[in-house]
Structure 1
Amino acid sequence: MTEKETQTMEEEAIEQEPNAEEISEEAEQTEELSTEESHQAEVTELNNRLLRVQADYDNFRRRSREEKESAAKYRSQTVIEALLPVIDNFERALLVKPETEEAKALLQGMEMVYRQFQEALKSEGVEVIETVGQTFDPHLHQAVMQVEEEGFESNQIVEELQKGYKLKDRVVRPSMVKVNA
């Protein structure tokens, strides 16, 4: 090779070799890109966490509101449960046949009080569960006896032994019933 060709090859090699400035610029650009990418990844992660926290908070608010509404809807349940034996005894007392005029007057007064009591319960959303002639429903009725009676279909309620009550859509006390086999 001639000296000129060797010199040309050396110049080309020098041109192809990156100098220190170019290497440091590329390193800075790469570093900037990796820093920017890491910041972007961190922003994305924080946004995702924020969305999850917001969803959790919305769910908490919804559950709290539902619990508050439920508590308000059924606030009188414990009082009603305590009054059910009183109602049962009231109904038994009304079945007594009075023999004297005083007893008849007392019975009339008790009937008036009983009607007012029933109206007050109805205004709170208390309903008597229908039984005789209905199909047995384990969510509403408690079968305490099973008999074979003619005139009734299988699984049909023959007799009510104790009244059951619902408060709005919740069973407070199931009806005790006798069911046809």
Structure 2
Amino acid sequence: MNPDAIALCALLAVASGGFLWHWRHTRRQLDALQARLEQVDNARRELAAQLTRLKRQAPEEALRVRRETLLPLFELDDHLRRAQAHASSTSDENLSVGLGLVAKELQNTWAKQGLERVGAVGECFDPHRHDALEHRPDPEGADPTLLQVVEVLSHGFALGGVILRPARVAVAAAIRSEHLLTLDLLTNEPHPAVRAPDE
């Protein structure tokens, strides 16, 4: 064999070996970059999911914080209403007028904050809007299947239609007083375990 041919073959072998080494090295780098790209893409997807969750939870969290802040103030509103009721039964006109002005200012503040009072005498009992603390017989014999609010013990409050605190109320139904404790508050029907008096 010609020495030039041998040298050329050796040169080609070395060159192809170098090429293969470079090709394998480049391939490993490309695989590493591809793996890193997948990691970055997974991290991006996870961050996007977290951002979506935060956007969904932010209004709920804001409402929860606002509710926790306002609940003690609702109790102050209750105390003011009780003080007004007591002051109206006394002869001190100035006290009554002063408490009335404070109550009106507080009511205006609630309205500015978007709060609305919940609970009024005559409403049908709604377990989502009312918390029944007392049951009373209805002397007027209204519809026995409905509970009616007969007294608001303390108003509830709603913000944008969401109940922050239900109204604490006394309710009445046209059923005999010995059956009042067995009334199912969810259905406004007598509990099935209690038999009607005429059965």
TM score, norm. by length of structure 2: 0.57
Q: Which has the larger radius of gyration?
A: 1
> 1:36-47, aligned counterparts within 5 Å?
36-47=26-37
How many pairs were matched up? 160
Deviation of 1:60 after TM superposition, in Å, equals 6.2
Alignment pair present for 1:33 and 2:23: yes
Which residue of structure 2 aligns with residue 82 of structure 1? 72
Which residue of structure 2 aligns with residue 141 of structure 1? 130
Of residues 133, 147, 156, the one that matches 1:164 is 156
SS in 2 for 1:95: helix
CA deviation string 1:88-113 (max 9, x = no partner): 1221233344464xx23431232122
The change in CA–CA distance for 1:128 and 1:34 in structure 2 (over 3 A counts) is same
Which residue of structure 2 aligns with residue 115 of structure 1? 104
Structure 2, unmatched stretches of 5+, are 172-184, 190-199
Contact 1:98/1:107 (8 A) holds in 2: no
SS in 2 for 1:119: helix
Contact 2:125/2:149 (8 A) holds in 1: no
Deviation of 1:24 after TM superposition, in Å, equals 3.1
Report percent identity of matched pairs. Answer: 14
Which residue of structure 2 aligns with residue 95 of structure 1? 85
Which residue of structure 2 aligns with residue 3 of structure 1? none
Which residue of structure 2 aligns with residue 106 of structure 1? 95
The change in CA–CA distance for 1:39 and 1:99 in structure 2 (over 3 A counts) is closer
Deviation of 1:76 after TM superposition, in Å, equals 5.6
TM score, norm. by length of structure 1: 0.61
CA distance in 2 between counterparts of 1:56 and 1:171 reads 34
Structure 1, unmatched stretches of 5+, are 1-10
Of residues 29, 32, 40, the one that matches 1:50 is 40
CA distance in 2 between counterparts of 1:158 and 1:22 reads 100
SS in 2 for 1:166: strand
The change in CA–CA distance for 1:38 and 1:142 in structure 2 (over 3 A counts) is farther
CA distance in 1 between counterparts of 2:23 and 2:119 reads 75
CA distance in 2 between counterparts of 1:169 and 1:25 reads 79
| Range with bigger deviation, 37-46 or 47-56 | 47-56
CA RMSD of aligned residues (A): 4.0
